[in-house]
Amino acid sequence: MNAVSGTAAAIQLARPTSNLEMAFDPRIPPEKQAFEMRLSGVLDADQVEWMVDDQRFAKTVGAKFLWPISRGRHSVTATVWRPGQPPITLERQNFWVK
């Protein structure tokens, strides 16, 4: 499991799971396909920076964001900022879109 201790609960990357394999659906237009990345243990007011394939991809408030699916092998990590605490950076998770 990919967890880092937080104040109230462990913060972890809930989606994608490690080495998840998912499929790109050729029947659906590419711009309509997305995968919900999600953390657990994150508070509604926490700020999260999402890194996909070593590139800053999104900065959100709360535990999730929609990533536009693209084929290939990918990695994701996130850094969580909670007021009054140092940032928490999660370990990288690898996943694959066929």
Residues in Cβ contact with 7 at an 8 Å cutoff, skipping those fewer than 6 apart: 82, 85
pTM confidence score: 0.85
Whole-angstrom Cα distance, residue 75 to residue 1?
A: 15
pLDDT in tens, 26-82: 999 999 999 999 999 999 999 999 999 999 999 999 999 999 999 999 999 999 999
Range of the domain at 46: 3-97
CATH code (residue 55): 2.60.40.10
For the chain, the domain total comes to 1
- 9 φ/ψ angles, rounded to the nearest 5 degrees: -155, 165
